[in-house]
Amino acid sequence: MPDAGRASASSDPDVGDVVVTVGDVLAAQARLRRYLPPTPMHHAERFGVMLKLENLQRTGSYKVRGALNALLAARERGDQRPVIAASAGNHAQGLAWAAYRLGVQAITVMPHGAPATKIAGVAHWGATVRQHGNSYDEAFAFAKELAEQNGYRFLSAFDDPDVIAGQGTVGIEIAPHTPDVVIVPIGGGGLASGVALALKSQGVRVVGAQVEGVDAMIRAMKGDVSPLDPVASLADGVRVKVPGFITRRLCTQLLDDVVIVREAELRETLVRLALEENLIAEGAGALALAAGRRVAGKRKCAVVSGGNIDAAVLAQLLSDVRPRPPRKPRRRAVEGEPSLAGGRDATRAAASTTPIKTGARRIAAPALATEVHEESIW
């Protein structure tokens, strides 16, 4: 479901003057609360991480937040133009649902080869679906051309101030749970920018996650803005050729770090998430959690950004991937308190044992082990 490709602001000479603030995120929260209830938080004990479950959001992804906020903000400004977007998945579905709720005409341009379930999902909410080209870039160019010819408003999947502010409401909902670090997947940068805007003023570290070979944002942050085709990846929702210009600036200013995840780690994490936590996520949705083991923090939170995975892909992963057994929790001993925990260390404590008579032999009985407390695996 890539909402990826070139940024909509790439040809906009005024993009450098666009400013997105915490106030914009708070205004988006006020708009969206009537339509979108907060998504739940889940403590993934085996991972030692809190999860923000945006896979349970309307249309199965956080993308609906930005699309809905953009339409509501446009209505406040008196902008009644039809809206057009290029997408092959989550952004298209989010826009279609938001347009349906508000009675706005929406057109989505999707490339040939886009998942049939995604196309059906967009059409279900009454949006017009135009298929053009064999890649997101070709669909993007066609959508821009239609917008200019017909006076439509083009709505980027990430490089739009209203979209960024809407995605930032994820961070507002995380804040009451007082994490010390939040990990977010990065494609075009809309989610990472918005969450960082919402949380940085509260002293929370925000870390981005990308996949090896699908790392346009971190390269752009380092000054390499040359377009490079991303490699094939399970995290198709973040396969961005050129990230946003607004989001690039915000990510450079606000992110504390960006972690690169290997494809094998991503696949294993997605399967573990399904088997151990009973949560279905798409590839991009499991990306932040996969990066969690490389991020230090006592109260870590990873954003599960979406759950729109093709059933055949999930079935193949569950068949092919055999995750390693999770490590046992580290244990910290507290002296002087008995516990049911035993094990190798306890059986070796023969020096402090009590003798027990059994016939002619004297056998040492193991001493009681001390109390143990679990610590985070990661």
End-to-end CA, the chain: 30
Q: Annotated catalytic residue: which of 61, 87, 156, 305?
A: 305
Annotated active-site residue 87? The verdict is: no
Cβ(58)–Cβ(64) below 8 Å: yes
Torsion over CA: 212, 172, 244, 67 (sign): positive
Q: Annotated catalytic residue: which of 52, 61, 63, 300?
A: 63
What's the distance, CA 98 to chain centroid? 20
**Helix (H) / strand (E) containing 213:** none
- From residue 18, give the alpha-carbon distance in Å to each of 172, 186, 195: 22, 20, 18
Annotated active-site residue 63? The verdict is: yes
Cβ(174)–Cβ(301) below 8 Å: yes
* Sheet (strand 41-44) strand order: 41-44, 49-53, 300-304, 181-185, 205-211, 257-261
Alpha helices in the chain (DSSP H): 22-32, 63-77, 90-102, 116-124, 136-150, 161-174, 190-199, 216-221, 245-254, 263-277, 287-291, 311-320, 344-347
Distance CA 89, CA 161 (A): 21
Distance CA 291, CA 300 (A): 11
Distance CA 74, CA 31 (A): 12
**Bridge partners for 208 per DSSP:** 184, 258
Q: Which residues are catalytic?
A: 63, 305
